Chain A
Amino acid sequence: MATGTLVLNQPTLRYVETEKPLGRNLAQTMGHYLWGPMALMGLMLVGTAFALAIARSQLSVDLSEEFTPLRKANFETLGQLIPGFMFLGFAFIFSGISFAIARILGVFRTGGGLVQEAAGKGIKTPVMPITAWIFLGGMMMAMMVLVFAFAGHVYAAVQAHDAWINATGPSGADAASLGRAETWGTWLEGLRRVGVGMYLASIAFGLATIIQVIRFQTLRIKELAEQTPTVA
């Protein structure tokens, strides 16, 4: 396996030269199979959050008619669970987007190799660029942040339930549990935004990788055309 660089308007693009087309790498194979399951699970979680919101809306109506500790406890518990499920759903959907981008990169890698093989002039495949590594790392960290935020919301939901289940009236909650639930709810909101921001940034790096691959393939097509003798 030989290595080299191709230059198109800077910076240089490192590549490997092989006799046979390279297959998908591990990340691209995962993207090939997992984009659909991730997107569907995300959509289901978002749907779950919306169903919980409808239940909470009904509890709000019931509470306005008559206060009971159970209704209030359920209302506040769902108030924590809904954002948890919603953003866990977003995490899976963003994973679906990331895996779909990895799938596109896999298609470029295998397809580009097959076309070069057909042309019979050697197969050059770009080495995984730094943007692709940042894309992968950012995506995994963002997923972990959002899964942690979901677990935090479950904890806050338990605290909210404890705070209200034995309440004597609309202002008779257990102060310690209520305080914990509110504190966790407040900082988890920020954490959720951080997770979404990390996902969006990593997707941007995935798109930047696609741009680099297209640039490499454009240059390679030009190189192949120059090597092919033209008919006078």
Chain B
Amino acid sequence: MAMAIPSQPTKFGIITVTPAGTRQTIIHTVANWMWLPMILMGIMAVGTSVGLGIAQAKVGSDLGDQFTALRQANFETLKPLTAGFLFLGEALLLSGISFLLATILGALRWGGAEVQESVGAPVKTLKMPWSAWVFLGLMMTGLMAALVAFGTLAFVSAQAHSAWIGASAAGTPGNVAALDRAAAYAAWANPLREAALGALLTGIVFALYTISNVVGFQFSRIRELILGREEGAS
């Protein structure tokens, strides 16, 4: 038979009271493992973007010397790809930072329980607050939007290539319909990648708020342990 875990509201949120330490949640565990891969992938994507930018500069220089359809097509293809990789990298880096903040929350949860357990007191732990759910939602939304923006920019780059590969002269694309498609998709894909960064950054704001709440709760709990009486009830 499952034992009911008593819970009570406080000014910091709802807490659970258990006789022994609380383990980290699945989200904290995922964060422990994912922050480094995310940051490494982010650095690689940003590095790729720098490489593509250098290639684009070289093709642009060649194009200045002599126009060929292939050079123009490559130049126009590399432009959205460079931006796509750059913003994908930035989104992955911000996701890595978000995972790091979740790791901090996990460490506070685990460490707080350890301290309470070591002095023989009942272990009080905050239930996952609303701000943590908002943080997770915004982080996932931002990462997905960044991936959609990257996929769209890859499509834009393919369209730009189709538009210019059959060009007869500078400024005269071979496939005007493809060029128009590229322009229309780029018009919203570029702001989408920035909106994705906005969602990730807003998620970080909520993560920081959650940390401040957890730290406040832990100060209150330490005070309770010192004074030997309950204080945190709302």
Give chain A's interface residues, CB within 8 Å of chain B: 35-36, 38-39, 42-43, 46-47, 49-50, 52-54, 56-57, 60-61, 64, 82, 86, 89-90, 93-94, 96-97, 100-101, 103-104, 106-108, 110-112, 114-115, 117-119
Contact = CB atoms under 8 A, between A and B. Distances in A.
B219 interface: yes
Contacts of A39: 202, 205-206
Interface stretch (B23-31, B69-77, B191-199): B191-199
Contact of A107 (B197, B198, B212): B212
Contact of A60 (B183, B199, B202): B183
Contacts of B169: none
A118 B199 contact: no
Interface centre among A39, A50, A82, A96 (most CB of B within 10 A): A39
Contacts of A117: 223
Nearest to A221: B222
B144 interface: no
A104 B208 contact: yes
B215 interface: yes
B187 A111 contact: no
Interface of B: 176, 180, 183-185, 187-188, 190-192, 194-195, 197-199, 201-202, 204-206, 208-209, 211-212, 215-216, 218-220, 222-223, 226-227
Nearest to B223: A118
A54 B186 CA distance: 10
B102 to A, nearest CB: 15
Given A35-B205, A111-B219, A115-B226, A90 B187 contact: no
Given A43-B199, A49-B195, A115-B226, A104 B188 contact: no
A143 to B, nearest CB: 15
Given A97-B201, A118-B222, 10 more contacts: A36-B209, A42-B198, A46-B195, A52-B191, A64-B180, A86-B198, A90-B198, A108-B215, A111-B215, A112-B219
A82 B189 CA distance: 12
Contact of B194 (A35, A38, A49, A57): A49
Nearest to A93: B201
Given A100-B209, A111-B215, A60 B226 contact: no
Nearest to B190: A53
A9 to B, nearest CB: 22
A127 B190 CA distance: 45
Contacts of B195: 46-47, 49-50, 86
A111 B220 contact: yes
A192 B42 CA distance: 23
Contacts of B202: 39, 42-43, 93, 96
A86 B219 contact: no
A108 B211 CA distance: 11
A89 B202 CA distance: 10
Given A60-B183, A82-B191, A104 B219 contact: no
Given A94-B201, A96-B202, A111-B220, A119 B226 contact: yes
Contacts of B199: 43, 46
B222 A46 contact: no
A93 B211 contact: no
A49 B191 contact: yes
B45 to A, nearest CB: 19
Contacts of A38: 205
A115 B219 contact: yes
Given A82-B191, A107-B212, A107-B215, A114 B201 contact: no
Given A39-B206, A50-B195, A61 B184 contact: yes
Contact of B212 (A82, A103, A114): A103
Contact of B180 (A53, A60, A97, A107): A60
A155 B224 CA distance: 58
A119 B227 CA distance: 8
A57 B226 contact: no
Per CB-CB distance, the 7 closest pairs between chain A and chain B, nearest first, are: A111-B219, A53-B191, A46-B198, A100-B208, A64-B180, A57-B187, A96-B205
